[in-house]
Amino acid sequence: MNDPDGEIIANRDDTIPVLRIPSHASSGSADLSDADPLHLKPGSRRERMKEHASKIKDRLVDHASPYAPSIQERLFTGLMAQIIPPEELSENEELSREEAMGKPKDRRSRQYVDRPNFSVGMMSGNFRRFNARIGIVFVFQNRLIRLFTWKHPTATLSFLAVYTLVCLDPELLPLIPLVATLFLVMLPSFLARHPAPENDLRLESRQFGPPVAPPSRVKPAPELSKDFFRNMRDLQNCMEDFSRMHDAANEYITPYTNFSDEGVSSELYLVLVVFSMAAFIASHLVPWRAVALLVGWALVISGHPSAQTIILSSDNIVQFNHTLDGSQAWIRSWIERDIILDEPAELRQVEIFELQKHHESSGTWESWLFSPSPYDPLSPLRIAGARAKGTQFFEEVQVPKGWTWKDKKWSLDLYSREWVERRMITGVEIETEGERWVYDIPIEDVEVGGPRKQRAKSLPKSGWEEGTGMDKKGLWRRRRWVRNVERVVVKASSPD
């Protein structure tokens, strides 16, 4: 259930697909399960054999996998399957229904793309596999931290030299991934196959001739090893960092952009519009190379320990907070003078149609219901043969969500001709005097394309338009009632 004071962001659409990347190890053992399902006719014997072989293969793979779920995990998975509601329509039923309706096949369905549902066993196995292989990301993150905190000044200065060269000549930017691949991937791999002699000064180091060592590969960390738990430690800290950044964004950014304070968000919106127009017009006049060069150098220099000591000193922090408070007070006073938020509440008009049904035997009209639709002869409900929808009494008509009644009672719309023409309703006769009923024209008086002999009339009878004037009556008649509503003002709750 969603939090009434906020919105939960989650993927409520299709599940995220699992990539199918073919590997050389599995390509040689392809069987019926790797066959293209497009070449198999639904319900054929070959397809049934293929599905049976696929199930057998999946069971064998699950039992042979080092991450196969235990008995406890299987029991917990079964319990969760009973708690989590199943999908209303299975994938096979959806595919058969689409084929019956002649719709094109959806290549994103589970028949062609892996989109597994939640499973405790699969979640546990995927987490162990992920944790065993995530170490390379943490090593890269740690090296970036060392680079930008000046642990090795020569490395940081080298990075600044490369960054300066790219800022002055952006055409060299595609060269960076190529050089990184050469010196960070290819060269270490070559040296791993041609290692230098160890602890023997009599031999000269040469990198030619046949390889003397196996090729290097990044291996997953074994379970229950020290590296495995180091990865868990770093993953735990990364999750904590993300949670803190998420909460900080909600605390420092969201209040200015979610219109909880109408004045601040409105002023920010206007400022962004002005800057967007200025950027669109004068963006080519800004020396972006110099800007990127200065900003990059400033950020990297600010990570130096000496710079951190100066920036984070108590005097500078007190002075920064004092300047920030003064700036916020000035901006607040400017917003109060510039933004006016004393607008009245929004007013709208709600309509409802009173429907009555005619009884030929008694010649009387029976009150049927109050419907949001006029239920005219060409309405989708009438064409589909469905009954009108609505309430039986005026008191049962509910105010729209987020609105409140402005008027005490409903008012009859005396301009029946206007709302009929606005909806382009045909096959009816309009009472422009009296109770303003709009009657159906009898079926025998209607031809395909409109009422017969009615369009040729230049002057209608007194009090009637597009009809014969009470000579014959259709099955339904309706009239329109209106009532004003006012928008409910919701005040923003103060954050805890």
Is 479 in the same domain as 356? yes
How many other CB atoms are found less than 10 A from the CB of residue 193? Answer: 14
What's residue 166's pLDDT?
93
Domain limits at 334?
253-338
Strands 428-431 vs 446-447: parallel, antiparallel or unpaired? unpaired
- Kindly state the tokens that stand for 236: 């735990």
User: Is 169 part of a structural domain of the chain?
Assistant: no
Q: Which of 9-13, 152-156, 209-213, 311-315 is most confident?
A: 152-156
Is 376 in the same domain as 323? no
Is 260 in the same domain as 370? no
For 123-145, b/e burial (b = at least 16 CB within 10 A) is ebbeebeebbebbeebeeeeeee
Span 442-464, pLDDT tens digits: 766 655 444 444 433 333 444 44
pLDDT at 57 over 90: no
Last residue of a domain, one of 280, 307, 338: 338
Question: Is the pLDDT higher at 64 or at 292?
Answer: 292
Is 302 in the same domain as 384? no
Percent of the chain's residues with pLDDT above 90: 23
Amino acid, res. 400 = P
Is 406 in the same domain as 466? yes
Is 406 in the same domain as 294? no
66, burial (CB in 10 Å: exposed 0-12, middle 13-18, buried 19+):
exposed
Question: Is the pLDDT higher at 66 or at 316?
Answer: 316
Last residue of a domain, one of 118, 133, 148: 133
Last residue of a domain, one of 81, 98, 133: 133
Is 386 in the same domain as 315? no
User: Is 205 part of a structural domain of the chain?
Assistant: no
User: Is 234 part of a structural domain of the chain?
Assistant: no
Q: Which residue has the tokens 């969500």?
A: 401
Is 412 in the same domain as 470? yes
User: Is 447 part of a structural domain of the chain?
Assistant: yes
Is 367 in the same domain as 479? yes
Span 29-38, pLDDT tens digits: 444 334 343 3
User: Is 16 part of a structural domain of the chain?
Assistant: no
**What is the count of structural domains for the chain?**
3
What's residue 4's pLDDT?
46
pLDDT at 23 over 70: no
Span 207-227, pLDDT tens digits: 677 777 888 888 888 888 898
pLDDT at 469 over 80: no
Percent of the chain's residues with pLDDT above 70: 67
Is 483 in the same domain as 360? yes
pLDDT at 230 over 70: yes
User: Is 190 part of a structural domain of the chain?
Assistant: no
Question: Is the pLDDT higher at 115 or at 234?
Answer: 234
Backbone angles phi, psi at 312, to 5 degrees: -95, 15
User: Is 102 part of a structural domain of the chain?
Assistant: yes
Is 479 in the same domain as 359? yes
Is 333 in the same domain as 401? no
Span 245-295, pLDDT tens digits: 999 998 889 888 888 888 888 889 999 999 999 999 999 999 999 999 999
User: Is 184 part of a structural domain of the chain?
Assistant: no
